[in-house]
Structure 1
Amino acid sequence: MYELSWVLRSKPEWQRKASDLDILSKWRKEALEQQQSLDRDEKLTEKMARQIQLCGYAKIADSERGIERGCFDAIWYSDRLISDDVAQRLKTAAGALENVPEDAKDWHPGSNGQVLDLVHPSLYCVVYGRTHAYLPDKPREWAISEEFCWLPSDFAVLADGSVTLVSPYINNLHPAKQQPFYRIIEDVVAAFIPMFERVLGEIDKETNVALEESGRIQGVDCVWPGDRPDSDPEEGVDEEEWKRDRNSKKDLPEANTYSGELEQVLSPISLRGRTVQCIIKLANIHLTPEQPKYAGGSWHVEGMANEHIVASGIYYYDEENITESRLSFRVPTGQPEYHQQNDNECMRILYGINGDDECVQAIGSMVTKAGRALSWPNLFQHCLSPFELADASRPGHRKILALFLVDPTVDPIASATDVPPQQAEWAAEALQQARADAASRVSHLPQELVDLITERVPAMTREEAEAYRLDLMAERTAFVGTHSETAYGVRFNMCEH
């Protein structure tokens, strides 16, 4: 049902078309006809084809900003969230970071020279016991980094929905040299706030309604109302007749009549009048005729528990000469406790999972085209699909701006408001500028003393920051493996419970 609904909502002008009863009837007929070759337990029923809730999805959309529900609950997208003016200013400002000497470009470690980091939170991150003005006790849980933390900036969300940067800087964006970026990021954060509010509203414990409680599906504990029939016919029994009789005994899930559950459940949480923390990332993927393919990403969530990232937002602001790419999502599932021993058939019908498969449910994918903004809860693992050059004879690229929202319901984490810039180069430049300013007290100090002060400033050199980044990446690679194994590595046990 989710898949059919999303296929229809991916059509151009789907809301207008869905309001035409003739078109809607045609869609349902086509969906049912395409399943004729499937077994009964694999088919959508007539009720299911009617319960795709297109009218509900239209009602919860934000027509002003183009915000709509994506392929699954709590995943939202818009193809016109960011204005043309902001998009153009972003491209221009990013160009200043891209057009630097080759030896100054920050190619992401391990990316084979394909991923260019313009702003990345792993560089000049918070290092426990090293970063000035932030010396907490080291946390101990496996999901919490004992060494590192990404550094967010604080943004005030005003009553009118606009956003103002509260922190004095954004990590890895020079507050003077890259000053044009600051207003752009404020505008992008402001545009994402309504989308974040929807994501938070759907995962809020007090308002969230589970699928089985939402009235969409008449669930069944098992497809066999009584004891499971034998897996093979008895000797002398006609096999086709035995199959028909066996299949007729199955109690399959059915859809209820839609009665407005989507509108009733959706309850966005307002962030207006609050200060939110966002971690900023800006990165490009570059393909060339020599390296025409991008292998795709790995399944992961963003950050670690001490960063409290509750939602992600990505704006795909530019692409050229690449094939379609998708961002896929999945969630872990619990083991059901009501199946019979070795009943693989029941598990396959109800969950699409066989015995000894991992307890993981794929929940769909979103096309990541230029101009699209996506947001989803950090409860879902996501993975970028492979893509390549559309025309292998010339270069291509994809560029993104990512916002990682820190949970606004917990105590704030250390931010750029608390932690002075750690870039030693910035500190040295500031001291030299102060010495050149006749109105500054530093101007009266001898150069030797200024040099000594520069050496004693508790900042990081570029070499130190890059070394810490490698350590952080190694730690998080291990975390991704542990998280996937712990949350996603449970397998169905087909023995009795």
Structure 2
Amino acid sequence: MRGNCCHGQDHHFSRTFKRARAAWYWMHSSSRNPSQLHRQFCGCCSDKNTRHPTLTLLFLSSSPGRQPLTKFFSGAYSEHKYLFSLALHLKAATFVRARGSHLWATTSPNPCVSSPSNSGNKTSAINAMTEAAPTHRYPGMGLPLRFWDPLDERGHEAVEKKSIYPMGVHSETFRHMSPLVSVREIAMMIVMEALTDKPEWHKKVFDDAIVAKWRKDALAIPDEVFWDQSTSFKTEDPADPDEHPRYVPPVLNSVGLMSEKAFDWCVEELRAKARHFEETGVVVTLDLGASVAKSDTLVTPALRAELQASFARLKADQASSPDWHPRTDEKVQNLVHPSMYPLVYGRTRVLRQEVVGVADAIARWAGKGEVLAKEDEVETVRYRRPRYRWGGIHSDNVPQDFWSDTFQWLPSNVAFQNDGTVKFTSYINNLHPQKYARTYRALEQLIATSIPLWEQCLVAETFGQSKSTHGHGRRSVRIPVQDEEWNPADMEECADTHVDARLLEPSYYDWRSETEQKWRVLRKAVHPEPGNPKDDDRSYQVPAECRLATKFKDSGLQVIVKMASIELTPDKPVFPAGSWHVEGQMNECICATALYYLDSENITPAHLAFRMPTDHEDVHENTPYEQGEFDWHEQVYGTHVGDGSNAPCLQNYGSVETKQGRLLAFPNVFQHRVSSFRLADPTKPGHRRFIALWLVDPHRRIISTANVPPQQRSWWAEAVLGASTTARKEAVTKFPPELFRLVLRQAESIGDKLTGEMASPGDEATIGPKAPRLPEELVQIIQNHSKDDDTLMSEEEARKHRLDLMSERSRYSDEMNSYWHETTYNFCEH
């Protein structure tokens, strides 16, 4: 494309401006080559009646005295010939660079390659960067949403070689269930969790005098405390006492739930955990079928200060218009939240290459890509066939709406560095990459700090293998299933004991002797004791092959980021308890959470409680019992198990305090729930600020911000016109007057505020020398095209999508909770 072709001479700005044509170009078609694009730009062979999705206006000047507009947008321009192409429908600008006597057009790229069916004969018009980048297919983009293997379609034979980190959304998902655990073992976990919160516990646990005091305190804890934490929240109506197993108070010489042998085990286990803590700074807690990891020391004071500064800046920048999370009574302020500007099928533009970075995300990529359509129903049905399922992950028994075909949170890609740190390679959704560059660096440090905790609590599951053959963590219960034993063992010991006649229920027990009736009322189950702690198969050391940096060094990680502040006031002094949930929907593949509790002021202590579903079939097959006799099991395990008992197959694990400075991590097999808290001093305001990091299963990567350019229309406007009044006025000096007014009129994202800042009296002097007017026909085309443009999202649209996303997830969460409570124990038949 020569600067003087078709016309035989260089063209000055004013002459070319009048002769400019609307160039319509199909970005999905390979039939239009650069020479055809050149003819369209030069006015030759253009088809005015053909309507295509990208409107491009071309301005060319050889006047060396005029400041080139391309310098304002891209910082690169030729010495004598200036070409400026502006996508007035709020896409990123398109430029042409001069090389010698040739001008080379760089069009808005469409890096999304053709579908597999036509990839061999079609190539999209993309720039050099997207041509060099590999094309990716993910569930929902190139692969069906419910497809388990994003690498290939090898079928069932390949499944046996695949690993995942489990998710606890449904019983049909792979290896996410807990064994049934005795109340005594839950008591042991509760005591160990409390002791690891004591200052210098890892040293004191080796001091026998201090341990003796701890023993006395632990044995004095009433059984009701352990019983409540073991049995609460297992029924659909937690307030109904009839739905809980009956607590039987101690009788005769019975031993409490926290026994001497149980505490002996706790001491030995805590000493092993203390040695591990000395090496890693990580405390393993509530560990059984899964585990929680916590640390109050790994986040350095310097990092905490940097994160506090980031929160302060975000809150200051959003002070005039805080984003209160919907349905929280203006108590939760979102600073960064993945539900704003999520991936919206049928709306969001995507690139099939992972090319969107951090620093260049807005200027280079905003508005580019193709709209990602919703999944075809035919594909949905086809990939529900057995050959595409793995261990029940995509079983027909898992409701289809556990995957969202409308929304997806967008993770950021994170790369491992040679020095052991990590680095974002794509922007964080809703955190401006230039404005908050220091926050990016701080979050990178927080992710690097969280990785050892994730490694501690994540154990990959491979089809056909169990955790006992690979990985780490506790591999069995501390107290195995045993035959029932009662205190008193002999019913004759109750013969002379007085029992209220109303408790004997003669209508039911009339076939039994009075002594047996008394014994059944008075007896208490003897809780099994743990074995020898030295024989325990615990293993806290994470094998090298299980390290995330080892397994995923080349592919890196994907992390979803949330930053929020809970604000309480004397008028709104209480934050209510949350609901039981796991994180994300199936298509987001979240495998673990890390929570950093940055700052707490004037609030009461709060806790995060954990529970898991149990494998009711395994419990039924491996628990010895007599037909119709469940009293002993219900007392020992703290749950109803009989026919019609309405006892969900749920296992409580206990809770962890969410205190200031704590980093807490856990796998997404846990259902978790935050407790209520309130102002400590009700006359003063208080707050709780935290950061949530959600790790996407690295075995199953999903669409990320590397594929989705920023959707925020306001970000694009700021990149083009500047964020401040001064920057915008300086930018306007580089605009021809008519072009400035046209952009000002058409760009909805600029709005009334920008008009007030920029369109002040004396515009003619401010915005530069008068330039030729656009031809009337082009003005009309631009106006008609711009008013219907929806390439980028306004904040109003993003808020609407967030409400729809929340409603969808509420329905999903309700359905999931219903399923948990409808899956019950049934020991009525052998």
Q: TM-score, normalised by structure 1?
A: 0.87
Q: Distance in 2 between matches of 1:123 and 1:96?
A: 20
Which region of structure 1 is more displaced relative to structure 2, 131-140 or 465-474?
A: 131-140
Moved more, 199-208 or 274-283: 199-208
**283-292 or 326-335, which deviates more:** 326-335
Q: 1:360 offset after TM fit, Å?
A: 1.3
CA distance in 2, matches of 1:93, 1:236: 72
1:358 aligns with one of 634, 638, 648:
648
1:371-398 deviation digits (Å, cap 9, x = unpaired): 1110001110111111111111111000
What residue is the counterpart of 1:308 in the other structure? 589
Query: Offset at 1:238?
Result: 7.8
**Contact 1:427–1:454 (CA under 8 A) maintained in structure 2:** no
Which residue type is aligned with residue 372 of structure 2? L
1:200 aligns with 2:412: no
Deviation at 1:48, TM superposition (A): 2.3
CA deviations 1:405-451 (Å, max 9, x no partner) are: 000112x211111100000111222233599999xx99899346754
Q: Does 1:477 align with 2:714?
A: no
Q: Tell me whether 1:48 sits opposite 2:262 in the alignment.
A: yes
Is residue 9 of structure 1 aligned with residue 196 of structure 2? Answer: yes
Greater Cα offset, 36-45 or 118-127:
36-45
Structure 1 window deviating more from structure 2 (281-290 vs 128-137): it is 128-137
In the TM superposition, residue 215 of structure 1 has moved relative to its aligned partner by 6.7
Q: Does 1:219 align with 2:481?
A: yes
1:27 to 202, 205, 214: 214
Matching residue of 1:97: 314
Give the equivalent residue in structure 1 for 2:562: 281
Give 3-state SS (helix, strand or coil) of 1:262's partner.
Answer: coil
**Superposed, which structure 2 residues align to 1:359-378 within 5 Å?**
359-378=649-668
Q: Give the counterpart letter for 1:258 in structure 2.
A: P
2:421 to 162, 177, 199: 162
Letter in 1 for 2:605: E
User: Does residue 375 of structure 2 align to residue 135 of structure 1?
Assistant: no
- Once the 2 structures are TM-superposed, how far is the Cα of residue 288 of structure 1 from its aligned partner? 0.5
Counterparts of 1:331 and 1:34, CA distance in 2: 25
1:343–1:103 distance in 2 versus 1, CA, 3 Å: farther
2-side partners of 1:32 and 1:446: how far apart? Answer: 80
CA contact (8 A) 2:374 2:405 kept: no
Q: 1:404 to 1:204 in 2, by over 3 A?
A: farther
Instruction: Check the 8 A contact 1:69/1:77 in 2, yes or no.
Output: yes
Contact kept, 8 Å, 1:56 with 1:262, in 2: the verdict is: no
The whole-number CA distance in structure 1 between the counterparts of 2:265 and 2:652 is: 20
For the 8 Å contact 1:324–1:387, the answer to whether it is kept is yes
One-letter amino acid of the structure 1 residue matched with residue 453 of structure 2: M
Q: Give 1:55 shift.
A: 1.9
Contact 2:203 2:274 in 1 (8 A): no
Whole-Å Cα distance in 2 between the matches of residues 157 and 436 of structure 1?
Answer: 41
1:492 aligns with 2:825: yes
> Are residues 1:446 and 2:739 paired?
yes
**Structure 1 unaligned regions, length at least 5:** none
CA deviation string 1:436-488 (max 9, x = no partner): 999xx998993467545876461111111000000000000111111122234
- Deviation digits for residues 44-93 of structure 1, max 9, x if unmatched? 443322222112212332545x3211333420011122111111111112
Alpha-carbon separation, structure 2, partners of 1:356 and 1:236 = 30
Instruction: Determine the structure 2 residue equivalent to 1:261.
Output: 537
2: distance between equivalents of 1:472 and 1:47? 51
In 2, the alpha carbon distance for the partners of 1:149 and 1:208 equals 30
Contact kept in structure 1, 2:347 and 2:373, CA below 8 Å: no
**Aligned residue type for 1:155:** V
Give yes or no for contact 2:284–2:456 (8 Å, CA) kept in 1. Answer: no
Describe the superposition over 1:262-287 as per-residue Cα deviations: whole angstroms up to 9, x where unpaired. Answer: 22685472122241000000001000
Kindly tell me: are residues 442 and 475 of structure 1, through their superposed partners in 2, closer, same or farther at Cα, counting changes over 3 Å?
farther
Is the aligned partner of 1:81 residue 2:298?
Answer: yes
Judging changes above 3 Å, is the alpha-carbon distance between structure 1 residues 254 and 159 closer, same or farther for their aligned structure 2 residues?
farther
Q: Secondary structure of the residue that 1:254 maps to in structure 2?
A: coil
Deviates more, 1:295-304 or 1:45-54: 45-54
Q: Whole-Å Cα distance in 1 between the matches of residues 454 and 424 of structure 2? A: 17
Q: What is the distance in 2 between the residues matched to 1:472 and 1:481?
A: 14
Using the TM superposition, give the Cα deviation of residue 160 of structure 1 relative to its aligned residue in structure 2, in angstroms.
Answer: 3.2
Residue among 286, 293, 311 paired with 1:71: 286
Counterpart in 2 of 1:383? 673
Q: Are 1:327 and 2:564 an aligned pair?
A: no
2:720 equivalent in structure 1: 431
Distance 1:34 1:318, change over 3 A: closer
- Which secondary structure state, in structure 2, belongs to the residue aligned with residue 99 of structure 1? helix
Give the whole-Å Cα distance in 1 for the aligned partners of 2:434 and 2:333. Answer: 22
Task: Give distance in 2, aligned partners of 1:84 and 1:204.
Answer: 39
SS of equivalent residue, structure 2 residue 595 = strand
CA pair 330-204 structure 1, distance change in 2 beyond 3 A: farther
Larger Rg: 2
Give the alignment partner of residue 189 of structure 1, picking from 425, 430, 447: 447
Q: In the alignment, residue 110 of structure 1 is paired with which amino acid?
A: R
Q: Once the two structures are aligned, what percentage of the paired residues are identical?
A: 36
Matched, 1:396 2:686: yes
Question: Paired residue for 1:147, among 400, 406, 413?
Answer: 406
Q: Give the Cα separation in 1 of the matches to 2:194 and 2:532.
A: 21
SS at 1:81's partner residue?
A: coil
Aligned mates of 1:49, 1:425 — CA distance in 2 = 59
Residue aligned with 1:86, SS: helix
Q: Distance in 1 between the 2:328 and 2:533 partners?
A: 47
Change over 3 Å in CA distance of 1:271–1:159 after alignment to 2: farther
- Map Cα deviations across residues 198-246 of structure 1 (whole Å, 9 max, x no partner): 122377785734999537323226558xxxx9996943538767878x6
8 Å CA contact 2:276–2:540 kept in 1: the answer is: no
Separation in structure 2 between the aligned mates of residue 266 and residue 85 of structure 1, nearest angstrom? 27
Give the C-alpha shift of residue 176 in structure 1.
Answer: 1.6
- Pair 35,457 (structure 1): closer, same or farther in 2 beyond 3 Å: closer
1:418 is the counterpart of 2:707:
yes
For normalisation by structure 2, the TM-score amounts to 0.54
Amino acid in structure 1 at the alignment position of 2:261:
K
Length, aligned pairs only: 486
Change (3 A) 1:239 1:112: same
User: Is the 8 Å Cα contact of residues 283 and 294 (structure 2) preserved in structure 1?
Assistant: yes
State the 1:191 CA deviation.
0.9
In the TM superposition, residue 41 of structure 1 has moved relative to its aligned partner by 7.4
CA drift of 1:493 comes to 2.7
Q: What is the one-letter code of the residue matched to 2:264?
A: R
Amino acid at match of 1:307: E
